[in-house]
Amino acid sequence: MKNRAIVWFRRDLRLADNPALRAAVDGDYDGIVPVFIHAPEELGHWAEGGAQRVWLHDSLTALDNDLNALGSRLVVRRGPSLEALQVLIEESGATAVFWNRLYDPLIVERDKQIKQTLNKRDDLHVESFQAHLLFEPWQISTQQGAPYKVFTPFWKRIKQEPRRAPLPRPAELPPVWSRIGTVDIAELDLLPRIRWDKGIRQRWEPGESGAQRRLEAFLDEPAEQYDEGRDRPAVPGTSYLSPHLHFGEISPHQVMHRSEEWLDEHAKPAPREHIESFQSEIGWREFAHHVLFHFPATPEEPLDQRFKDFPWVQDDEALAAWRDGQTGIPMVDAGMRELWATGYMHNRLRMTVASFLTKNLRIAWQHGERWFWDTLVDADLANNTLGWQWAAGCGADAAPFFRIFNPARQGQRFDAKGAYVRRWVPEIAELPDKHIHEPWAAPKRVLEEAGITLGETYPRPIVDLKVSRREALDAFEQIKNT
């Protein structure tokens, strides 16, 4: 009897450093069937948002091309996942099923059930692997055996653990025999009918090669000044690896390993601290997954239970202005428009717009979380939840609630020449640097010279930053000691 293996691709859309694929290649299998099963209904309301669906379409296409180059192809099926796997096991005569683990609560539950069911068969070997993170969330705990809720000791602990080296990419793969049918990627209907995705597709290159190129482009230059560059939204100062990491087109092992290798190759005095800062962001990703795994209700509920009683405001008009980038606060509007146009927003802006929504507008963080979910190409349940709870002050290692970002000050500090704001809010581009972040405070004459009529060509601020800050602090007083 022939031995055949199914490799179930999920959010590990790469061929290198893929333990599930490696197990199939290294095992004694005559046939390997790489499969992707599209089953958004199994993810409840955390199924891929609009921007992610565009990414997924292109990433699956790239994976199929990469598999073709090695002599194989991607088999695409529709869910439910268990049934799709069972059908494929029968069709292919598979004797093994391999996949890499993920940590979103609904996926953990689903995979557990699938494993239990498939394990009942004596003729099948079922195995899952660690690939999406540096370590399993249950491997790392405090001295008391509890999950970490503070980043610094978590990361210190992780750095002490020996890490494995990335696994090699297979040189070739056996062909998938022709009677194994596939759904055409286009039939998954991942692309929008009204093609709003042009900006996303112009900006990004989904797929494993795109991810590798991104990492090298980052190491080529921005990495050397990461500590300063990462806070300047007008310059390409960060890696832009987040969607690639989310879809597993590159693994955190590869990123850590390659950045260390690069340090050895570039014996320059400065880069070490910059690379260490960059690596600690990979640590935040790891931390976010750790928190999500141990506190699976956090995508919906605050980790800090006091915030369940926070007096949030229901204001649909203000929420719409925030979403549309029409708040009259240039930094906020620039961030929200970048997000809509490209599926991405710089981290400094994510913190700024999230603080503005949850504190100045006092709208519940879950509304922002949902909008990001639908519009970000890197929307990630772990990172997005942690980011929103961090900004709202109600999560693990969160910014204290009383730390309220002033968006105008953020602009003056991190976009001093206004280049970022001018790119995304062109209607105020003619304002001098001095007034670009606070058009409402500019003298009438300056506004006239810049061709601006507040309330007509650009909105007046929908809230007064000082007054709303005070109101937020008062609201916090109500729950502070509960």
Ligand X SMILES: Cc1cc2nc3c(=O)[nH]c(=O)nc-3n(C[C@H](O)[C@H](O)[C@H](O)COP(=O)(O)OP(=O)(O)OC[C@H]3O[C@@H](n4cnc5c(N)ncnc54)[C@H](O)[C@@H]3O)c2cc1C
372 binds ligand X (CB under 6 A): yes
Active site residue 284: yes
285 binds ligand X (CB under 6 A): yes
Name which position in 52, 92, 239, 406 contacts ligand X (CB under 6 A): 239
The minimum distance between CB 35 and ligand X, in angstroms, equals 26
How many other C-beta atoms can be found within 10 angstroms of the C-beta atom of residue 122? 5
When the beta carbons of 73 and 290 are compared against ligand X, the nearer one is 290
Q: Please list, in sequence order, all residues whose beta carbon lies within 8 angstroms of the beta carbon of residue 196, skipping any fewer than 6 positions away.
A: none
- Which amino acid would we find at residue 418? G
Name which position in 92, 383, 410, 468 contacts ligand X (CB under 6 A): 383
Sheet containing strand 4-9, strands side by side: 75-78, 31-38, 4-9, 96-100, 125-129
DSSP assignment, residue 454?
A: B
Helix/strand/coil (H, E, C) string of 364-383? CHHHHHHHHHHHCCCCCHHH
The minimum distance between CB 226 and ligand X, in angstroms, equals 7
Name which position in 384, 406, 410, 468 contacts ligand X (CB under 6 A): 384
Which of 347, 427, 430, 471 is catalytic? The answer is 347
* C-alpha separations of 83 from 79, 153, 182, 211, 459 in Å: 7, 43, 15, 32, 53
Contact between 391 and 365 under an 8 Å Cβ cutoff? The reply is yes
Name which position in 133, 215, 329, 386 contacts ligand X (CB under 6 A): 386
Hey, what are 455's tokens?
A: 């309330």
53 binds ligand X (CB under 6 A): no
How many other C-beta atoms can be found within 10 angstroms of the C-beta atom of residue 276? 15
- Tell me which residues in 240-259 interact with ligand X (CB under 6 A): 240-242, 245-246
The window from 5-13, 138-146, 284-292, 332-340 that contacts ligand X (CB under 6 A) reads 284-292
Distance CA 24, CA 71 (A): 15
Distance CA 194, CA 394 (A): 37
Name which position in 9, 388, 420, 476 contacts ligand X (CB under 6 A): 388
Which of 136, 205, 276, 281 is catalytic? The answer is 281
421 binds ligand X (CB under 6 A): no
Name which position in 110, 132, 230, 367 contacts ligand X (CB under 6 A): 230
Distance CA 353, CA 326 (A): 12
Region of 328 on the Ramachandran plot (φ > 0 left; ψ -120 to 50 alpha; else beta): left
The window from 27-35, 40-48, 114-122, 378-386 that contacts ligand X (CB under 6 A) reads 378-386
Active site residue 427: no
The minimum distance between CB 33 and ligand X, in angstroms, equals 30
Cα atoms found within 13 Å of the Cα of residue 228, Cβ hemisphere only: 5
Name which position in 23, 32, 256, 379 contacts ligand X (CB under 6 A): 379
148 binds ligand X (CB under 6 A): no
Q: How many residues bind ligand X (CB under 6 A)?
A: 29
When the beta carbons of 37 and 345 are compared against ligand X, the nearer one is 345
Name which position in 81, 92, 238, 410 contacts ligand X (CB under 6 A): 238
Please tell me whether residue 27 adopts helix, strand or coil conformation. Answer: coil
Please tell me whether residue 240 adopts helix, strand or coil conformation. Answer: coil
281 binds ligand X (CB under 6 A): yes
**H helices, E strands: number in the chain:** 20, 5
Distance CA 230, CA 206 (A): 22
134 binds ligand X (CB under 6 A): no
Helix (H), strand (E) at residue 36: strand 31-38
Active site residue 347: yes
Active site residue 312: yes
Q: For binding to ligand X (CB under 6 A), which residues are involved?
A: 230, 238-242, 245-246, 281-282, 284-285, 288, 347, 350-351, 354, 372, 376, 378-380, 383-384, 386-388, 390-391
Task: Report, as residue numbers or ranges, the catalytic residues.
Answer: 281, 284, 312, 347, 365, 388
